[in-house]
Amino acid sequence: MVVCRMTLMVCKKKKSKIEIEKKTKWWKLKKEECCEEFRQKLRQALGGQVVLPDDWETTAEMIRETGRKVLGVSSGRRKEDKETWWWNEEVQDSIQRKRLAKKKWDMDRTEENRQEYKESQRRAKREVSKAKQKAYDELYTRLDTREGEKDLYRLARQRDRDGKDVQQKVDKIRKDEVRKALKRMKIGKAVGPDDIPVEVWKCLGEAAVEFLISLFNRVLESERMPEEWRRSVLVPIFKNKGDMQSCSNYREIELMSHTMKLWERVVEARLRKVVEICEQQYGFMPRKSTTDAIVALRILMEKYRDGQRELLYVFVDLEKTYDRVPREELWYCMRKSGVAEKYVRVVKDMYERSRTVVRCAVGQTEEFKVEVGLHQGSALSPFLFAIVMDQLSEEVRQESPWTMMFADDIVICSESREQVEENLERWRFALERRGMKVSRSKTEYMCVNEREGSGTLRLQGEEVKKVQEFKYLGSTVQSNGECGKEEHLPVFDDVADHVDREQAYLDDRGETPVKEGSRISAASTQEHSSGPYPSQSTRYCR
């Protein structure tokens, strides 16, 4: 037997200080007194005038300078990453008592005050420990539910022309357009490199609207936006799956100028009035949601299951969709969709000479150019992507619900393995010859009422992965047509009730399940999925 006595020296590791960029405390504009003081100081800087200067650079610098003086700036020192989501009233009260005891001891260093402070420290630690345990127990229970998945994601989570230039008259930007765009902008969002949040324009009211109208009309006329808007900050967000060391497991979000986003919203509203997107596209379309696509898919599955007919679903996954869109393809698709050449040039200007830096926990990189893909944090990008997908899929898509798209989430349905394999190859060719990429590893298929010995599904010689269930737009779809894991969740009751009433609606119309030798029409599924019974649960569609 060997006995060993050891003495270990444990040294507390010093935390390296990370200097971060000092930021203006724009959040103080939520307080009416700060907002009023900001308006007064800005008016004084303007020499008593109410109208803002027409020049963007002058106005932007004046706003930033006034904000720094009135609202102050952050220290530039990074705060310690402390978790506070589990705090409750007991913890808050005990921490406050500890702080008061510390102040009392600092003022009068008696033994009695010291003991009081030590006791308050122990009491605070006990309350913190109990609060953490309770919060984590509730969290683990909640993560097993659909609502918990939403919380976890939130914590970590839009016809053929000749192809010629379309020269059309373009009206000037109006007040109501700016007001609507301003109303749609949410507050409390991270600012871009120009350090001017949308709260400033909301705070300044009509003076801001007048300035923005003048600014946007100059940009529209000259087709040149301020150089400051071309800069952005790219923040990588972990997807909560895969290796944290792999860059492919991160989602890139661009922090852009809020004023540029306002400009994008004005342009987007105008483009939506002239561009007609196909009915198969559910993503970022008015009066459509994920619920409509999910219900249409489930009803189609129910019909084939009840009729004992085979039905195949292929869930197509595209790799790095926003990053892969060729910009020349974007301009071509916009022209093919009938967008006026003026707007094409305006959107092109948004992407010219764009530069960004990558910001992470340890600092940020040097600035570099971005010459491919769509902006990830742009207000206009979802609709631009819908235009691209509309044009790229024009020759291969079938009527809904045999083809359904939600942005880049594509579902192809067919009654036979040969037909669905042919359709999948046509989709692959149509997308990849225009710069997109179909993921072989993540594209999967599912079969309802599968026949014995029906074989496998292949894409360019590679076998496509077969699954018994697939999470489609947040809803778990199973090959047996059952709701499975979601049937016990309260949030699913709304959609389950939705489906039941849809089926009752079909029964009232005399429609029956699919029989041998018959084929379901698109109208019988798609029509009522957004018809007499609109979507019931916006919670479910997340």
pLDDT, tens digit (0-9, with 9 covering 90-100), for 89-117 = 788 888 889 999 998 888 888 988 899 99
- pLDDT at position 514, please? 44
- pLDDT at position 159, please? 41
Size (the chain), residues = 542
- pLDDT at position 179, please? 93
Alpha helix (H) ranges present in 440-516? 490-508
d(CA 287, CA 357) in angstroms, rounded, equals 37
Q: Tally the C-alpha atoms within 13 A of residue 56's C-alpha that lie toward its C-beta.
A: 19
pLDDT: which is higher, 497 or 174: 174
Q: Which residues contact 360 (CB under 8 A, 6 or more apart)?
A: 235, 236
d(CA 277, CA 136) in angstroms, rounded, equals 45
Instruction: Give the gyration radius of the chain's Cα atoms.
Output: 29
Nearest-5° Cα angle at 304, 303 to 306: 65
d(CA 391, CA 373) in angstroms, rounded, equals 17
d(CA 117, CA 107) in angstroms, rounded, equals 12
Q: Which amino acid is at 333?
A: C
Cut 0.85: pTM above it: no
DSSP per position, 309-323: --EEEEEE-BSSHHH
What is the pairing mode between strands 465-466 and 444-448?
Answer: parallel
Residues paired with 19 in a beta bridge: 77
The domain locations on the chain are: 26-74+160-274+327-369, 89-144, 290-325+373-529
d(CA 423, CA 412) in angstroms, rounded, equals 8
Closest CA to 267 of 206, 177, 200: 177
As a CATH number, domain 290-325+373-529 is: 3.30.70.270
Instruction: Pick from 239-248, 300-309, 418-427 the range whose average pLDDT is largest.
Output: 418-427
For 280-318, letters b (16+ CB in 10 Å) and e give bbbbbbeebbbbbbbbbbbbbbbbbbebebebbbbbbbb
171-221 pLDDT, tens digit each: 899 999 999 999 999 988 888 899 999 999 999 989 999 999 999 999 999
| Mean local confidence (pLDDT), 414-436 | 88
User: How far out from the chain centre does Cα 131 lie?
Assistant: 32
Instruction: Pick from 149-163, 171-185, 300-314 the range whose average pLDDT is largest.
Output: 171-185
d(CA 167, CA 169) in angstroms, rounded, equals 7
